[in-house]
Amino acid sequence: MAVPHILPLRAFKDNYIWVIRDHSDAAVVDPGDAAPVLDYLSREKLKLIAILNTHHHNDHVGGNAALLQEFNVPVYGPIREPISTLTHRLRECDEKENEEGNVYLPEFSITLSVLDIPGHTAGHIAYYGANLLFCGDTLFACGCGRLFEGTPQQMVQSLEKLSDLPNETQVYCGHEYTLDNIRFARVVEPGNQTLIKREKTVENLRKLNAPTLPSTIGLEKATNPFLRCNQPEVIQAASRHAGRALTDRVDVFAAIREWKDNF
């Protein structure tokens, strides 16, 4: 069976709703708005077969109800979060447990494993499989989500879990924040040559109003300051910002997350 195509639908100011599709069927990840999904499905003559949610924020789940009025499909999402439209509540499971920790999309012959990645929200999950990672608002291209419900320790552990995935993993996150994130990262780590090259590439894409996603885990490990809290230049920048010497990775992360919040 052919590998399905992944493409973004734009919603609101900077959201991406990810569509997994082949010639006849489609699944959507984090449909905060039903309208662009319904328009696309109608235009492409596709049948919706599943909805996948990563967390409970309305800009990621707000379109569920309207889509369910048109399509009777399963809705997958985090067991620990209040999403009223879910039909399948998921959490990360080890290989010995049942399928509660997986989503199988038979139309595409894809199994996506569920990863618990709290920090942005308390029960945030990601979907990983077939070299694809749908990570919502936990990991962004050259950034990470704000800590609305979790702790720095939780977010560091979640980001480490994602950074342990293969370097070639395609990263599909929830927002077009890349250029702003890179501009902050350049202040934190001005000597990072890979980051300098990435900035030029992303600037050119944005001039064309083109998406900067997907990223890859390998690129994030090379350029994303929130995955580089053990690097000397990042530690030094975080320490200068905090006004004290920082050595613990969580303290370094917390300092640059607070810095980014007010950047």
Owner of token pair 């894809």:
110
Catalytic residue among 25, 55, 56, 124: 55
Catalytic residue, from 30, 56, 57, 124: name it.
57
241 is catalytic: no
Q: Which residue is catalytic, options 25, 120, 124, 251?
A: 120
Q: Which of 25, 30, 33, 59 is catalytic?
A: 59
Of 241, 82, 248, 247, which is closest to residue 256 (Cα–Cα)? 241
In the residue annotation, 33 being an active-site residue is answered as no
d(CA 200, CA 210): 14
> Tokens representing 81?
């979060």
Residue 172, exposed/middle/buried by CB under 10 A (0-12, 13-18, 19+)?
buried
Is the separation of the CB atoms in 225 and 234 below 8 Å? yes
For 172-204, give the DSSP string.
EESB--HHHHHHHHHHH-TT-HHHHHHHHHHHH
Q: Does residue 137 carry a catalytic annotation?
A: yes
Handedness of CA 63, 64, 66, 67 (dihedral sign): positive
The single residue of 25, 56, 60, 116 carrying the catalytic annotation is: 60
Q: Catalytic: 60?
A: yes
The active-site residue, picked from 25, 33, 116, 137, is 137
Decide if 124 is catalytic.
no
Catalytic residues: 55, 57, 59-60, 120, 137, 175
